[in-house]
Homo-oligomer: A and B are copies of this chain.
Amino acid sequence: MFPGARADRTAARYVVVGAPLDVSTTFQPGTRFGPDRVRRFSRTFDDYDHHTDSRFTDLSVHDAGDVHAWDDAGDYLQFLRGTLTDVLADGATPLLVGGEHTVTRAGVEAVTERDDSPDDLTFVCLDAHLDLREEYDGNPLSHATVTRHVLDHADRAVILGARTGSEAEWERASEPDVTVVPPSEVADWTPDFDGQAYLSVDIDGADPAFAPGTGTMEPFGLTSREMHRVVRAVAPRALGFDVVEVNDRDDGQAATLAGKLLRAFVFAHAAAGDGTA
């Protein structure tokens, strides 16, 4: 159980869903251990949050455990989307914990394919990578394609901290529905879009110093404080949240940061009201 996530499923305003998918990781595998590890390294956190003067255990968070992953990513995403759709149908906000970035697709689809889906949804993403490929090594469901898939459903994408991609990805990124904020400008970024958001945190948006335990480390990245600021700024408008790409190949830094950002999201989202403020 994510520490403090002790609300009942039915009463919950937030539902943690683990999605340990780990099939398309290009380099260092281990995201299958991400959800467990994030829960484990979150044990040390205080219940109380000073920024929002609230307690995590008062915010009605439920941990639904993991959606067991298998190696057919397409089938898995469909099943996962069903789980998340149920969460949303119950009026709760999903907090997806990967697993590889691919799982974000299920999160965004769950948000956008509801009857009361938002008119205008911005996909905000902290990521070292553009993830705008059409396929990777022949695989159209690779983590490196997730933002492209998401753009089939969201109105635009804002990718914060992105610093690498293929030439085709950068071309795609130059179209009007994509905004790339390089690492050096993230500290000063504030949300400049209308409507609602889905917030996805690929932990490799951080510099490897802050999150070495991830599949593809990419230097020259964000500090933990920069990521914290973004999460708190976007949370009030977010309908869904995920944190992905944490593996078990470090001394806990990546999982600790991921768990803390998940909590920061909940605190800021709850403080802002119903998420549509």
Is residue A40 contacting chain B, with contact meaning CB distance below 8 A?
yes
The residue that A46 contacts in the complex, of B166, B184, B217, B252, with Cβ under 8 A, is: B166
Contact with B along A131-147 (1 / 0, CB 8 A): 00000011100000000
B184 close to A225 (CB less than 8 A): yes
Contact with B along A30-61 (1 / 0, CB 8 A): 10100010001101111110100101000000
The residue that A210 contacts in the complex, of B24, B29, B40, B209, with Cβ under 8 A, is: B209
Instruction: Looking at the assembled complex, report how far the CB atom of A177 sits from the nearest CB atom of chain B, in whole angstroms.
Output: 18
Is residue A23 contacting chain B, with contact meaning CB distance below 8 A?
yes
B228 close to A219 (CB less than 8 A): yes
CA A4 to CA B86, docked complex, whole Å: 27
A70 close to B220 (CB less than 8 A): no
Residues of A187-213 at the interface with B, using a CB-CB cut-off of 8 Å, are 207-210, 212-213
Is residue A10 contacting chain B, with contact meaning CB distance below 8 A?
no
Is residue A94 contacting chain B, with contact meaning CB distance below 8 A?
no
Contact with B along A106-148 (1 / 0, CB 8 A): 0000000000000000000000000000000111000000000
Is residue A153 contacting chain B, with contact meaning CB distance below 8 A?
no
Number of copies of chain A assembled together: 6
Do A170 and B220 form a contact, CB below 8 Å, given A23-B71, A40-B36, A208-B210? no
Is residue A83 contacting chain B, with contact meaning CB distance below 8 A?
no
The chain B residue sitting closest to A31, CB to CB, is B29
Is residue A72 contacting chain B, with contact meaning CB distance below 8 A?
yes
A29 close to B27 (CB less than 8 A): no
CA A208 to CA B53, docked complex, whole Å: 24
Is residue A257 contacting chain B, with contact meaning CB distance below 8 A?
yes
Is residue A63 contacting chain B, with contact meaning CB distance below 8 A?
no
The residue that A219 contacts in the complex, of B36, B72, B137, B260, with Cβ under 8 A, is: B260
CA A25 to CA B29, docked complex, whole Å: 10
Residues of B within 8 A of A137 (CB): 70-71
Can you give 16 A-B contacts (C-beta < 8 A)? A36-B40, A45-B164, A48-B165, A48-B167, A50-B163, A50-B164, A53-B167, A72-B138, A207-B210, A207-B223, A207-B224, A207-B225, A212-B250, A217-B252, A218-B260, A250-B251
